Structure 1
Amino acid sequence: MQNDKTTLKDLSIFTTESNGGVFALLNHTTTQAGQDALRRHIQQPPASHEALLEVQAVVKFWSANLDKWPQSISNGTLIMLEKFFEAADNVTAAPGGMSSIFGNVLQKWFNKNEYFFTQFSLSHLSDFLIGCKQLVQILKQGNVPALLQRNLQQIEKELEHRLTEDIITVHKETPFRQLAQLSFKARREMKHMVLQLTGLYARMDAIRSLAVAT
Structure 2
Amino acid sequence: RDRYSAQRSEPLVTMVMRDRFDHALVQHAQGLGVRVITGEAVRGLDRSVDAHGGSVIDLHTDQRRCTARAVIVADGATSPTAKLAGFVDDRQIIPALECEVWVGEADFARLQDDPRFDMDAIPHGYGWSFPKRDHLSIGVALFQKDDGDKTALKQHYQRYLQALGIQEVLRTESHGFVIPVSLRQGSLCQGGVMLVGDAAGTADALTAEGISNAILT
**Shorter-chain TM-score: which interval?**
under 0.3
TM-score (normalizing by structure 1): 0.26
Structure with the largest fraction of helix = 1
Structure with the largest fraction of strand = 2
- Higher RCO (Cα < 8 Å, 6 or more apart): 1
TM-score (normalizing by structure 2): 0.26
